[in-house]
């Protein structure tokens, strides 16, 4: 085991410094040090139709403790259980907390794969660095999540739309009320078997364009998956719900630029009368937008698959005013949210300034044509029907 390594300064530097020791290196996150304590009675999988998003969890969890002094301790896989923390732990007072969300899928050749976990790990490290929690070796946490999933592989649901939602979390655990850099932290990962977000195909949603509350701002932390970003968004969502809208379409600034929808990134499809092309557009990553893995995947696939003679794919600023004007002229074609949980979520109406902006849907359907294509492109890769570079990472082979 790698403990603290100390360096005694050479006596020639003077006896007055001989008591000084310096930490050379603290232990990195190391998957090879994993210790597994299996549950005594593994649970039986719930029938698919009883899976509720994020309410049931697998038998095991992963925990890794960190201290400033020693670095990352040996990772543990152990039965899913309550945490025990002092009430003074800094996570409870100053929101030293961040999380990730990604999924694992069962493929037709009976493997379990994670979708683009390297992207989530990179983002998690950025979130950690921003709130002075420890960063870690991304590949090691990918390996450890793989072991955790393998431990409960019988609980990864089977079937189109079903998957295992993985929730890596990092909290500061220093037991002190002074606001300062945490010197203790806990990384843990829990997993929840989940079903399709929309049980009976798509269900297009109504959004309220929201300018009276602001989700994120320049110089803020809206581009990080910090727990502190989410609680303040519930009240505006309830207020929108009272008026019959499922989610907020978050606007920013005097220009009323469109940023995100609820906890998803958002895409619009416009007809560009000048060029005769269609345009798929989403807001640029300027620090106020969460860098969604689904967003990145939609952009990459659109750029690969859409004919550039007919399509433009743009990351640019655009406002609710532009959307309203385009809708009036019949140039608003589609809109959808993107995120790990629902993958794509079609939008049918946006309330703005007391008016309803209607987003066209395919006749008798709950989405537009591109929304439907994008959903299929991504699902085919996630469920192993199509291969796309290294987007699918095999974590277990059940053959």
Residue 268: both structure tokens together: 């619009």
Nearby residues of 257 by Cβ (< 8 Å), 6 or more positions away: 251, 283, 317, 318, 319, 320
CB 70 within 8 A of CB 24: no
CB 187 within 8 A of CB 71: no
Which strand (E) or helix (H) includes residue 96? Answer: none
Give least dist CB 100 to ligand PLP, A: 8
Is the Cβ of residue 115 or residue 270 nearer to ligand PLP in the bound state?
115
- CA–CA separation, 310 vs 148, rounded Å? 45
Give least dist CB 264 to ligand PLP, A: 5
Is the Cβ of residue 173 or residue 263 nearer to ligand PLP in the bound state?
263
Is the Cβ of residue 130 or residue 329 nearer to ligand PLP in the bound state?
130
Q: What letter does residue 352 receive in the DSSP assignment?
A: E
Give least dist CB 265 to ligand PLP, A: 5
Residue 376: both structure tokens together: 């299929």
Is the Cβ of residue 127 or residue 174 nearer to ligand PLP in the bound state?
127
Three-state secondary-structure class, residue 379: helix
Distances (CA, A) of 109 to 69, 164, 211, 251, 385: 45, 17, 48, 44, 10
Give least dist CB 293 to ligand PLP, A: 4
Give least dist CB 226 to ligand PLP, A: 9
Closest CA to 334 of 358, 317, 364, 308: 358
Is the Cβ of residue 208 or residue 260 nearer to ligand PLP in the bound state?
260
Is the Cβ of residue 106 or residue 116 nearer to ligand PLP in the bound state?
116
Is the Cβ of residue 205 or residue 327 nearer to ligand PLP in the bound state?
205
Is the Cβ of residue 173 or residue 297 nearer to ligand PLP in the bound state?
297
Is the Cβ of residue 229 or residue 367 nearer to ligand PLP in the bound state?
229
Residue 292: both structure tokens together: 């969604």
CA 41 from chain centre, in angstroms, equals 31
- CA–CA separation, 36 vs 9, rounded Å? 39
Helix 369-382 to helix 293-305 angle (10° resolution) is 110
Give least dist CB 147 to ligand PLP, A: 22
Give least dist CB 339 to ligand PLP, A: 4
Closest CA to 184 of 67, 87, 95: 67
Is the Cβ of residue 261 or residue 306 nearer to ligand PLP in the bound state?
261
Give least dist CB 290 to ligand PLP, A: 3
List, in sequence order, the alpha helices (H) in the chain. Answer: 90-94, 117-130, 138-151, 234-242, 293-305, 320-328, 369-382
Give least dist CB 99 to ligand PLP, A: 9
Cβ-based neighbour number of residue 233 at 10 Å: 19
Give least dist CB 263 to ligand PLP, A: 4
Cβ-based neighbour number of residue 83 at 10 Å: 12
- CA–CA separation, 188 vs 46, rounded Å? 24
Q: Is 254 left (phi over 0), alpha (psi -120 to 50) or beta?
A: alpha
Is the Cβ of residue 20 or residue 235 nearer to ligand PLP in the bound state?
235
Give least dist CB 189 to ligand PLP, A: 16
Beta bridge partners of 186: 65, 171
Contacting positions for ligand PLP (CB under 6 A): 101, 225, 260, 263-265, 290, 292-295, 338-340
């Amino acid at each position: 085991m790698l403990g603290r390594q100390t360096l005694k300064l050479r006596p020639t530097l003077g006896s007055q410094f001989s008591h000084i020791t310096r930490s050379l290196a603290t232990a990195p996150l190391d998957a090879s040090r994993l210790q597994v304590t299996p549950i005594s009675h593994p649970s039986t999988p719930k029938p698919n139709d009883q899976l509720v998003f994020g309410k049931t969890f697998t038998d095991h969890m992963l925990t890794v403790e960190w201290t400033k002094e020693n670095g990352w301790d040996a990772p543990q896989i152990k039965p899913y259980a309550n945490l025990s923390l002092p009430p003074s732990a800094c996570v409870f007072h100053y929101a030293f907390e961040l999380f990730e969300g990604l999924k694992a899928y069962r493929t037709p050749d009976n493997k379990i794969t994670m979708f683009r976990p390297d992207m989530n790990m990179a983002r998690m490290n950025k979130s950690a660095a921003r709130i002075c929690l420890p960063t870690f070796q991304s590949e090691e946490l990918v390996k450890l999540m793989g072991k955790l999933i393998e431990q409960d592989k019988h609980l990864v649901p089977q079937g189109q739309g079903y998957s295992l939602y993985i929730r890596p979390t990092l909290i500061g655990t220093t037991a002190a009320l002074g606001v300062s850099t945490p010197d203790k932290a806990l990384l843990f990962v829990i997993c929840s078997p989940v079903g399709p977000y929309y049980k009976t195909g798509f269900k297009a949603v109504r959004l309220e364009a929201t300018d009276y509350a602001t989700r994120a701002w320049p110089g803020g932390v809206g581009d990080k998956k910090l727990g502190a970003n989410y609680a303040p968004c519930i009240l505006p969502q309830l207020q929108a719900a009272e008026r019959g809208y499922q989610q907020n379409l978050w606007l920013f600034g005097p220009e009323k630029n469109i940023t995100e929808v609820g906890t998803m990134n958002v895409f619009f499809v416009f007809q560009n009368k000048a060029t005769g092309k269609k345009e798929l557009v989403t807001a640029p990553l300027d620090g106020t937008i969460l860098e969604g893995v689904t967003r990145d995947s939609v952009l990459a696939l659109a750029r690969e698959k859409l004919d550039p003679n007919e399509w433009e794919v743009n990351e640019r600023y655009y406002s609710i005013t532009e959307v309203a004007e385009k809708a009036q002229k019949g140039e608003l074609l589609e809109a959808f949210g993107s995120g790990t949980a629902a993958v794509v979520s079609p939008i049918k109406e946006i309330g703005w300034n007391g008016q309803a902006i209607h987003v066209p849907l395919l006749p008798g359907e709950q989405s537009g044509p591109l929304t439907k294509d994008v959903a299929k492109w991504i699902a085919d890769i996630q469920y192993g029907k199509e291969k796309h570079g290294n987007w699918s990472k095999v974590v277990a082979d059940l053959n």
